[in-house]
Amino acid sequence: MQLSLALDDRPLLPRIRDRLLARLGPRRDGRRRDPVSQLVRSMLGSKTRDEVARRIFRELRRRYPSWDGLGEASPRAILRIIWPVNLAEPKAEQLPQALRMIVACTGRLGLDHLADLDEEAAMQWLRRLPGVGSKIAAAVLNFSTLRRRALVVDTHLLRLGGRLGLLPLDADYDAGYEQLMRQLPDAWDADDLAELHRLMKLLGQTICTAHAPACGACPLRDLCPRCGV
């Protein structure tokens, strides 16, 4: 088995996915939000633990059953709900601004028009919204019902990409997105990219952590210049 792995001359990302699937199992999720809901969820989740962001998203949705109401709400009212998330004050400003900008640009609070754009044009359109960078834009395109081919690159993927030699160690979200997208096999679809994100994120949360990576337990250790065989 070790010999066959050593002789595997495929590009690195397919080998990474195969190893992570073998260790962590499939990570596919059929549940998808509409694009505006995913935008709100992703903006809340930036630099915030998933469990906190999920809870605050549910509370925000309970208070604003229609996102039109959120777009009309004052930042002070929004802040009273979302204060547990990181960077709550700027997010309380940016959320209604982003929703109002969508209405101003499209005539309605919806992002379905992004389905008619290619991925790069859709990414650029979303990046114009307040508080939206490459990570949030890719999440809207990939995780929502739009189901577009965009890889969500978060801090875990940046860290793993740097350690594995896929990215420069100082790559930011924009550079990480651009460079990893160029390395993806053309045959991988939106669901493949979503699964790769979840697999690498889980590895980053449990084994290849920021401060104390457990290299001896990592299924990628012989692929990693940091750890070696």
pLDDT value at position 9? 73
Does 15 lie in the same domain as 109? no
Quick check: 44 and 82 in contact, CB under 8 A? yes
Q: Residue 120 is part of a domain; what is its CATH number?
A: 1.10.340.30
Task: Check residue 7 and give its pLDDT.
Answer: 58
Residue 228 lies in a domain: no
pLDDT tens string 1-26 = 444 444 567 889 999 999 999 999 99
Task: Give the rounded distance of the alpha carbon of 203 from its chain centre.
Answer: 15
Give which of 141, 178, 136, 148 is closest to 161, Cα–Cα.
178
Please give the tally of structural domains in the chain. 2
| 122/80 Cα distance (integer angstroms) | 32
* pLDDT per position as a tens digit, 30-76: 789 999 999 999 999 999 999 999 999 999 999 999 999 999 999 99
Query: Would you say residue 174 has pLDDT above 90?
Result: yes
Per DSSP (E only), the strands in the chain are: none
pTM over 0.75: yes
Does residue 194 register a pLDDT over 60? yes
pLDDT at 2: 47
Assess whether 82 and 173 both reside in one domain. Answer: no
Report the pLDDT value the prediction gives residue 17, as an integer from 0 to 100. 96
Provide the residue type at 39 as one letter: L
Query: For 106-156, what is each residue's pLDDT tens digit?
Result: 999 999 999 999 999 999 999 999 999 999 999 999 999 999 999 999 999
Domain that holds residue 56: 35-143
Q: Are residues 40 and 127 in the same domain?
A: yes
- Overall average pLDDT of the 83-94 stretch: 98
What is the greatest pairwise CA distance in the chain?
62
Does residue 148 form part of some domain?
Answer: no
